[in-house]
Amino acid sequence: MTRKYRSLIGDSFLIVLGVGCAAFGLEGLLLPNNFIDGGVTGICLLVRQITGIPLSVLLLVINFPFLYLADQVIGRKFAIKTAASILLLALCIAFIHFPELTEDKLLVAVFGGFFIGTGIGLSMRGGSVLDGTEVLAIFLSRKLGVKVSDWVIMINVVIFCTAALLLSVEQALYSVLTYFVASKALDFIVDGVEEYTGVFVISADNERIRDALITRVGCGVTQLHGQGGFGPSPAVPNQRVLYVVITRLEIHKLLKVVHGIDENAFVTMNSINDVHGGMVKRRKI
């Protein structure tokens, strides 16, 4: 089996597992207790409680504009994977019914958030997302210059304030707890990466990797001159070290490109709180 098909099977497994976790958290915990979450999923849950429209329908309808945005901002492959993930989640909620586990509100908030965050994180590891909020935040960040994390916070503040007005303050507060747990679970699943990640790539095939990062990933590349420090100096060749700054949605794609060229490439990553200038906020992924 080729690397391409092994990767496709692995991605599909992570996405299906992520969808299952998110569907369980929604159907088995949040829906029976009328809790909401943040992001687009939270909007869908809020609209469902107000209008009575099935959640499966709302997930498809409300996420549609964000799928178009993902295609324009991030890439066609990512948008297709995300569309398939959201469709699968909607089908799971429509046709698979999980038993209500508990009526304890604290347990519902904590474990509902845990399963939803885990599901989104697993899907992200597979190269997709189950919620369009971060796609919108990245788009607005590049257009207006405000940090991605600030946009995410502002969007969710509006959602929870609306929930407090239309539902109840208690439900809104429990929903904030749900969102907090979900965000922490998501960060744990994706190894704690932040909105931006600095990546160093060291490889003997650095020229091909540099060209692939520019053309296939679409990121700017900085080349540094480096020398290996292990072994006698004459035996250690000089080589270029590649440095790029990407969003966490691009990590999966970057690793595929790098290891597709050099399986032994040395790759290190570090979290970056924010970046200013350069190509990061105005380029397409």
Query: Do 21 and 118 touch, CB atoms closer than 8 A?
Result: yes
Query: Do 178 and 35 touch, CB atoms closer than 8 A?
Result: yes
Domain count, the chain: 2
The verdict on residue 281 lying in a domain is: no
End residue of a domain, out of 189, 221, 245? 189
Query: Do 113 and 25 touch, CB atoms closer than 8 A?
Result: yes
Same domain flag for 136 and 120:
yes
The CATH number covering residue 215 comes to: 3.30.70.120
Same domain flag for 127 and 215:
no
Burial bucket for residue 104 (CB in 10 Å: 0-12, 13-18, 19+): exposed
Rounded to whole angstroms, how far apart are CA atoms 281 and 275?
8
Backbone CA torsion sign across 8, 14, 18, 19: positive
Predicted confidence at residue 134, as pLDDT, reads 73
The verdict on residue 235 lying in a domain is: yes
Rounded to whole angstroms, how far apart are CA atoms 118 and 128?
13
Written as tens digits, the pLDDT of the chain (285 aa) is 677 788 888 889 999 999 999 999 998 898 888 888 888 888 898 899 888 899 999 999 998 888 888 888 788 888 899 899 999 999 999 998 888 788 899 999 999 999 998 998 898 888 888 888 778 777 777 777 666 667 777 888 888 898 889 888 888 899 889 888 988 888 778 755 456 889 999 988 889 999 999 999 888 899 988 877 666 555 556 678 999 998 877 888 999 999 999 988 999 998 876 666 666 554 443
Rounded to whole angstroms, how far apart are CA atoms 98 and 42?
20
Query: Do 30 and 45 touch, CB atoms closer than 8 A?
Result: yes
Same domain flag for 27 and 135:
yes
Beta strands (DSSP E) in 119-247 are: 196-202, 222-227, 238-247
SS3 80: helix
- Which among 222, 122, 30 is positioned nearest to 38, based on CA atoms? 30
Q: For Cα atoms 85, 182, 28, give the angle at the middle one, nearest 5 degrees.
A: 70
DSSP label at residue 107: H
SS3 of 165-199: the string is: HHCCHHHHHHHHHHHHHHHHHHHHHCCCCCCEEEE
Same domain flag for 81 and 121:
yes
Predicted confidence at residue 149, as pLDDT, reads 63
| Tokens coding 212 | 């692939």
Same domain flag for 40 and 178:
yes
The verdict on residue 117 lying in a domain is: yes
| Tokens coding 6 | 């092994």
